């Protein structure tokens, strides 16, 4: 078994980084504006002649969403609104995020952005994005032409 040399300064540096990270996390919980912004989780699926984009946006009403579809990307933005309630007791802890969010999702193929269908139900936004006509998969029959020009299978296997 090889001996590993102890490096005390390396260990101290590692401990310092871990402590800095711990204090940064505690300080981030007390700030109103955190450096980490929330963005909805998405799922993008190819369904032959159209794409289906689903975004998980809980706690937001449809009227608070702004959805813009270009030929190459979809932009979803909105706002989590905070409702003030007057209570005698205050919060001990709140991990809900309030404020605006935005997410832009690049699309793998161009879409017909004027024919998009949208549904927003139970916090899930579903967009059906028809692919542009030039990128839809078209099936063509291939004509081999004259059967005399084809090589018989027995001649093709000779080395």
Strand boundaries in the chain, DSSP class E:
41-46, 50-56, 65-69, 73-80, 99-106, 117-121, 124-130
Residue 158's pLDDT is 47
Max avg pLDDT among 15-19, 23-27, 78-82? 15-19
- When pLDDT is averaged across residues 88-101 and rounded to a whole number, the result is 71
For position 150, what pLDDT does the model report? 47
Half-sphere exposure of 118 (CA within 13 A, CB side): 15
Task: Output the pTM of the full model.
Answer: 0.59
List pLDDT tens digits, range 104-150.
999 999 999 899 999 999 999 999 999 988 776 666 667 776 555 44
Give tens-digit pLDDT for 26-72. 765 544 444 457 788 999 999 989 999 999 998 888 888 999 999 99
């Amino acid at each position: 078994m090889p001996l590993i040399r102890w490096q005390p300064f390396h260990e101290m540096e590692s401990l310092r980084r871990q402590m800095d990270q711990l204090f940064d996390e505690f300080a981030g919980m007390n700030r109103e504006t955190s450096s980490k912004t929330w963005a909805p989780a998405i799922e993008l699926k190819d369904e032959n002649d159209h794409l289906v984009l689903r975004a998980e946006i809980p706690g937001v009403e449809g009227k608070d969403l702004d959805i813009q579809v270009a030929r190459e990307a979809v932009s979803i933005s909105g706002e989590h609104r905070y409702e003030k309630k007057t209570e005698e007791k205050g919060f001990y802890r709140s991990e809900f995020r309030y404020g605006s969010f935005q997410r832009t999702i690049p699309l793998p193929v161009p879409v017909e952005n004027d024919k998009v269908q949208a549904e927003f139900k139970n916090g899930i936004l579903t967009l059906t994005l028809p692919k542009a006509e030039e990128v839809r998969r078209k099936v063509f029959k291939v004509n081999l032409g004259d059967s005399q020009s084809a090589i018989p299978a027995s001649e093709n296997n000779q080395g």
